[in-house]
A and B are shown apart, each in its own frame.
Chain A
Amino acid sequence: MIKAILIFNNHGKPRLIRFYQYFAEDMQQQIIRETFHLVSKRDDNVCNFLEGGSLIGGSDYKLIYRHYATLYFVFCVDSSESELGILDLIQVFVETLDKCFENVCELDLIFHMDKVHYILQEVVMGGMVLETNMNEIVAQVELQNRMEKSEGGLSTAPARAVSAVKNMNLPEIPRNINIGDINIKVPSLSPF
C-alpha cells in the first residue's frame, strides 16, 4: 500500500499532497516538513530509499523518492510494494505528466494542482496502484478532459471574457510574474 504521495519543490513548498490515510492538516504539514528535511539533505547520487521511521506508520514504511530538477516526488509505501517498482511508477507518473502538460515544468504543477490530481487518480487509487501503462493513463485522462470541455469546463465562455476584462492593463494588476520556466527533465527510463 502507498500511504502518501508528496510533491514539493527544492524549498519544501508543497505542490501536491495526497494522503491515503487521514491526518489532520497541521500533521500533514509537519510530515511534509519532516520529509523535506530528510530528503533535501541527501545528495543526488545516493540511494532513493529512506526508512520512514517515526514519520508515517513506523518501521514497515519506506520513503521512496525521485528528484527532478526543482521537484521532489516522494512516495511513502509499506513493505508490500516493490521498491524498484515504485521508482518505476514515479517515473511513469512523471512521464505521464510530461505528456499531459507537454513538457511539464514546476509551473504546470503550481497552477494546475487539480489536473495533476486527476492524473494521479488514474495511476494510484486509494493507496493501491491502479494502472502502470502510460498510454492507458493518458487515454483516460484525455477522455475525461474532453468530457469536461464538452460541458464547457469550469470557466465557461462568459467567464473567459470576464477574465480578459480583469486582466486589462489596470495599474494594480501585477503583470510579468517572474517565474522561470524550469522544465522537469525526464531522463530516459533507467534499465530496470
Chain B
Amino acid sequence: MALKIVKGSIDRMFDKNLQDLVRGIRNHKDDEAKYISTCIDEIKQELKQDNIAVKANAVCKLTYLQMLGYDVSWAAFNIVEVMSSSKFTYKRIGYLAASQCFHEGTDVIMLTTNQIRKDLSSPNQYDTGVALTGLSCFVTPDLARDLANDIMTLMSHTKPYIRKKAVLIMYKVFLKYPESLRPAFPRLKEKLEDPDPGVQSAAVNVICELARRNPKNYLSLAPLFFKLMTSSTNNWVLIKIIKLFGALTPLEPRLGKKLIEPLTNLIHSTSAMSLLYECVNTVIAVLISLSSGMPNHSASIQLCVQKLRILIEDSDQNLKYLGLLAMSKILKTHPKSVQSHKDLILQCLDDKDESIRLRALDLLYGMVSKKNLMEIVKKLMLHVDKAEGTTYRDELLTKIIDICSQSNFQYITNFEWYISILVELTRLEGTRHGHLIASQMLDVAIRVKAIRGFAVAQMATLLDNAHLLTGNTQRNGICEVLYAAAWICGEFSEHLEDPMQTLEAMLRPKVATLPGHIQAVYVQNAAKLFATVLRKHDGETESQAAQETSQLLIDRLPLFVQSANLEVQERASCILQLVKYIQKLQQKNVEVAEEVTALFAGELNPVAPKAQKKVPIPEGLDLDAWINEPPSESESEDEKPKAVFAKEEPKHSRSRHTEVDEKELARRREVRKQEQANNPFYIKASPSSQKVYDAPGVEHIPVVQIDLSVPLKVPGMPMSDQYLKLEVERRQKEKAERKKKEKKKKREKRGKERKADSGPESEEDITPAHQVDIVTEEMPENALPSDDDDKDPNDPHKALDIDLDNLLSGFSSRPLADSEKLPVRTHRPEALKSPAEDRDSESVPQETKKKSGKEKKKDKEKDRKRSKEEKKKKKKHKEVEEELLESQPEEAVQSEETKEAAAPPTSTSAEASDLDFWLSSAPVPPAAQEVTAPSSAAAAVDTSSAAAPESEPDEPKDTEPEDTKSSKHKKKKQKKEKEEKEKKKKKRHHHHHQHHSDAGGEDSVQNGTVEEEEPLPPMSNYSLLAENSYIKMMKEDADQVYDIQGNHQDESKVVVSVIFENKSDSFLKSMEFNVLDSLNSKLQRPEGAGAHDSLTVPFQLPPGVSNEARFVFSVQSIIMPQKLKGTLTFIVKSDESSTHEKLDFKLHFTCTSYLITTPCYSDAYAKLLESGDLKGSSLRLEGINMPFHHLLARICFHHHFSVVERIDSCASMYSRSIQGHHVCLLVKTSDQTVSIDAKCDEPSLLGNVLDEIKQTFSKC
C-alpha cells in the first residue's frame, strides 16, 4: 500500500513517457477516447510545470496524439517553449511537434523568428539542421522574409549537411517570399556544382521544381544541366535533370536536337529502369517538340515504342503501368507507331489491375480511327457489361463518350450507331454520368441535322419507357437522360411519328417524381408538342383530335401547377392558361394552329460554351456604370430563377419571347439568315431541312429500311451491333463501287490517283453513312482568341515567374536593385564559421555600390563582346586547331581557379547569346565553338590586368565553352588530357605571377576572396604579414572570432587565418608556426605540448601554390590591442639541395578583431542607450570623400559593425565584443566631415576601436 502511494507521487513527478502512453492506449481499446482525454489532462498539467524535460515529454506525447487526429494547437506556445530549449534532445522534440501542427494560421509562429534565427546560426550543426527541417514545414511569408538572408548564408556553410538542407529549404522560401528568388539565385546556381553530391542533388531538385512551373526562365541553365547530365552518375540527379529537360524542350526545339543523342545512349546503356523510363519520357517530349515528320527521328520513336513494349509486356505491374502511361504521350504526336501495338493495349483492358485498365483506356482514346471506332467501342461495351464496381464502369462510360465525341465527332461515320450506343448506355444502373449522356444526345441532335429524325424516334421510345429508367431510385443519375429526350422530342417534334403518344407519355403522373429541372423541360416541351399536334390537324374542320389534345393538357397540367418547384409551377400555369384559351378558340372553330406554332418557331443554333465570355466589350461601354438608377427592391421579384435551367444545358437557356409577334419573328429570321449567309463558319443546312435524310447518301445506304427493321419498341435492346455489321457491309459495297470508278479513272489519269484497292482502306476512303452537317458552334464575331481561360489565378508559382536571365547575364540587364535586397535587419549574423560565409553576408549591404560599378563595367563588357565577335569571325576558319590546344587548358585553369576561390560562376553578359550559340552548335562544325573559349579567356585576362587592383580578375566568366567541350568533345578530350595537364601546370604558375604583381602593395588583394556580388571598392581582410624571397604570409584580420562561453571564463578564442604562398621555384615543406605567448594571448597548442612548442602547418607547398591555415589563440583581456612576435620555419627543397629557412613576423590583434557583428533591433538599441551604463566618446574625420553607404559598408566590413538604422546621412550602428561589451556608434556626415559619437561600457576598448576606425579612413 505504501508502495502504491509512493508510486503515485512519483508518477505525478515523472509521468508517462511516449511509450507508456502508447501502451496505455493499446490497453484501453474499449474506452480509448476516455483514456486519451485523461492523458490530455495529464499533459496539460505537465505543461504547466517549469521543468523543460517534463514539458518536452508532454509535447512528444502530443505529437503522437496529433497523429491520432487530436487537435493540439492549444499547446502551440508550449511547443515554442520546448523549441527554444538549449538541449538538442528537447529542441528536436519541439521542432518535430511544430512541423506537425504549425501552419500559416498559427499565431505563435511570429514569436519563433528570433529563436529560429539563433538556431540557424548555432555552432552545432544539428541544431541548425533541426531548425531547417522544422522550418521547411511551417515557413510563412513573414518567416521567409525575415530569415531568407540567414538561410542564404547557410547555403555556403562549411558542412555539406547544412548546405544541402539550406539549399532545399530555399524553394519553400521562394514560394512564400518570391522577392528572394532574384538575390538568391546566383548562389543557388553555384550550388549546382558543389563538390558534395548531396548538395548538388538538392540544388538540382530545387531548380527543377522552380523550372517546372516557369520553364522559360531557366532555359539559360540548359548548358549547365547538360554538362551535369553527361557527367553525373547519381541516378536521382539524372532523373531530375532529364525530367527538367522534358519541361524545357517544348520551349526550345534546338535543345531537343542536342539531347536526343545522349538520351538514346542512356537508354541503351542504363540498367536502371527508373532512369530508362525517364529517358524515354524526355525523348518523347523532345520528339513532340520537334516538328513532326522528321525522317531521322523515326528511329528514336521506334526505339521508344520498342522499349515501352518491353515494359508493357513485363510481368511487373509497375512497369506495365508506366509503359502505358508513356505510350499515351507518344500517341499524341505519333499515333501510327502506337497503333501497331493495338493488340497489346486491348489485352491490357483485361488486366486484373484497375489502374492498368484505366491507362489502357486512355490509350484507346488516341488510337481510334474512322475505321476501328465501332470495333473498339463494341469491345468497350462488352467491358461495360462485365465491369463490376461502379467507378470503373463509370470510367468506361465517360471514355466511350470521350472517344466518340473527340474532335467534333471526327471519327463517327454513322450517327445512328452513336445514338444507339448512347441509348444502350442509359441502361447502366446507378451511373453518375446521366448528364454526360444527356448532353451528348442534345449535342448530336442539335448539331447533326440529318440525324434528328432518328434521334427523335429513339428519344420518343425512351420517354415512353421512362419508367424503366426511373423505376429504381438507385438509377437517379440516369434520369438526366430524360431531360435530353424530352427536349429533343419537343424541339424537333416535326419528326415525331406519333406526337400524341409522346405527349401522353410526357404528361404521366409518374413524371412528377422526377427532379424539378427535368419536369420543367417536360412541361415546356409538352407545349411544343401540343403545337405540333395542332398543326398536324390543321385544316381538318372540327378536329376531334386537336380538341382531345387540349383536354389532355388541361387535365394533366394541374398536377404540375402544384409542383413545389417554382420553375415547373410557373411554366405549367402559364401553359395551362394558354391551352385553356386555345380550347375556347377551338370551340369557336377558330384556326389557332398557325399562331400556336409561331410561339415555338425559329431554329436554335448551337453556341460555343465560351462564346458569351468572348464577346469583346465595345469601346466606350462601361459595364460597371449604372444605366438607370438602382432598381427598387420590388422589381427584383421579376427576375426569373433561370439558374437551374441554364446550368444544365446552356444551349437553350435563351429565353423565348412568346409575346413577340409574327412580324417581328419573321424579321428576325430574315436577319439571322442574312447573318448565317455571311458567316463562313456556319454550315448551312440543306434547303429542305424538314427532310429526314439528305439526298446524297440515300442511294448507297439502305438506312431508312434499317430504321424500320430495328425493333424500336423494345427498349434496351442492344442495336449498335447491327450497325457494326451494316457498316462493314456498306464499306465493302462502297469499296467495290470505288474500285469500279477508279478503274475508269485510272485509264484517264494514271499516277496521280491513289490506289485504294491495294492494301487496307485508308482513313479518307471511308465516307460517312450520312451526309452530315456538323454544325459548328457559334462564336461571337471578332471574338478574342485567348487560351487563358483555364489558368488558375491562385497558383503560388505564378509569383515565381521571375526573369532570372537578366540577373545571370548582367549585360543590358537589370542588376539587383536596392529594393530587391533581402531584408537584413542584421547584416551579419553572429558566430560565423568560415571566411566564405563572412564575405557572403558582407556583400549584401554593399550591393548599393554595385550599381555604379556595373555601369562602368558595362562599357568594358561591350568592348569585350565586340572584340569577341570579331575574333570569332576571323578565327572561324583559321588556326582553329592551334587555338584549340591552347585555349582549353587556359579555360580549364581559370574556371578551376574560380572554383577554388569559391567565387560563384557568374555568367557573362553574353549568357543569352551563348545559349543560342550552344544550341545552334549542333549542326555547325565543332571547331567553331572552340573559338569562343580563347577569345573570351583572353578578354578576361585583358580586363583583369587593366582593372589592376580590382579584386575579381576572372569574375565574369563564361562557363559555357567548357560545357560545350565536355559534351561535344568527349573523345577528343580524353586524348588531350595529358597535354592539358602539363599546360595547366605552366599556366597556373603564370597566373600566380600575375597576382603577385597585382598584389604588390601594402593593401594586398587576394584573388577570389571577393564574391560576385561584390561592389566596386575592393575591401580585403587580408594584410601582409611577412614576406621573403621564398614565402609570403598574409593574415586575415582576425575576423573569425568567437568565444566559447562556459568553457573558460574570461577567456575567449580568436582564430587567425594565414595564407601561405610559395613564391619560389622550390618545394616548401615542414613548415612550423610559432609565436611567443604573452600573458594575455596564447597560441592554443595541442594537449601535452609545451608552452614554447611550435605548431606544424598541416600542408606542404609546391611552387607557386598558396594555402590557408588557421591558428587559434586564447585571449584574456580584449580592451587593448595586442602584438605577438612569431616565427615560421620551413625547409626549402630544390632539386639539388634542401635548406632550412625562417621568417619572422608580428601578429597584430586589433581591438576590432574582438568585435563580432551582432544584429540589434532598434528598440533594443534604444533601450541600451537609455540605460546609461555606457560611456561616450567621439571622433571627427575630415575630408572623407566617399558616399555615405560606402562609409558605412567600410565600418561594417573592417570593424564588424552592423547598421541598426539609417536615416538619410545619419546611421546608428552596433557591435558586441566577444566578452559582451556593447559598442554603439552614431555616424553622421555632412560635407566630407564625418562625426562619430560612440558609446561603450568599456572606455578603453572604445578608444582603441575609434583609433582603429580613424586609421582605416586615413588610409583611403
The residues of A with any CB-CB pair to B shorter than 8 Å are 1, 14, 16-18, 20, 22, 24-26, 28-29, 42-43, 45-51, 80, 82-85, 87-88, 110-114, 117-118, 121, 125-133, 136, 140, 143-144, 147-148, 151-156, 158-159, 162-163, 165-166, 168, 170, 174, 177, 179, 190-192
Contacts and interface: CB of A to CB of B under 8 A. Distances in A.
Contact of A47 (B3, B56, B202, B317): B317
Given A17-B67, A49-B355, A114-B96, A126 B318 contact: no
A82 B243 CA distance: 8
B69 A85 contact: no
A88 B274 contact: yes
B185 interface: no
A16 B236 contact: no
Interface stretch (B168-176, B430-438, B805-813, B1154-1162): B168-176
B318 A47 contact: yes
19 contacts: A24-B71, A47-B353, A50-B355, A85-B274, A111-B23, A113-B64, A114-B96, A125-B169, A126-B137, A126-B168, A129-B201, A129-B205, A130-B165, A131-B198, A132-B201, A147-B88, A148-B92, A155-B17, A192-B274
A3 to B, nearest CB: 12
A85 B243 CA distance: 12
Contacts of B87: 151
Interface string B171-214: 11000000000000000000000000010011001101100100
A154 B317 CA distance: 45
A122 B1087 CA distance: 36
Given A16-B67, A144-B126, A159-B14, A117 B96 contact: yes
Interface in B354-376: 354-356, 358
Contacts of A80: 208-209, 212, 243
Interface in B864-881: none
Interface stretch (B4-12, B649-657, B896-904): B4-12
Given A47-B318, A84-B273, A162 B10 contact: yes
Nearest to B320: A47
Nearest to B211: A80
Contacts of B137: 20, 126
A179 B25 CA distance: 13
Contacts of A166: 7, 10-11, 20
A129 B236 contact: yes
A14 B198 contact: no
Contacts of A132: 201, 236
Most buried by A among B63, B137, B206, B317: B137
A80 B251 CA distance: 18
B352 A43 contact: yes
Interface string B273-290: 110011000000000000
Nearest to A153: B89
Contacts of A48: 317-318
Nearest to B24: A174
A168 B7 CA distance: 9
B136 interface: yes
B358 A174 contact: no
Given A25-B66, A126-B137, A154 B57 contact: yes
Contacts of B317: 45-48
Given A126-B172, A154-B89, A113 B66 contact: no
Nearest to B125: A143
Interface string B366-398: 000000000000000000000000000000000
B322 to A, nearest CB: 6
Nearest to B169: A126
B60 interface: yes
B26 interface: yes
A98 B318 CA distance: 24
Contacts of B236: 85, 129, 132
Nearest to A179: B26
B93 interface: yes
A114 B318 contact: no
Given A25-B66, A46-B355, A126-B169, A131 B164 contact: yes
A72 to B, nearest CB: 15
A83 B133 CA distance: 24
A145 B355 CA distance: 42
B1075 interface: no
Contacts of B18: 111-114
Given A29-B69, A126-B137, A84 B274 contact: yes
Contacts of A155: 17, 57
B318 A1 contact: no
B161 interface: yes
A121 B130 CA distance: 9
B1060 interface: no
Most buried by B among A87, A114, A136, A140: A114
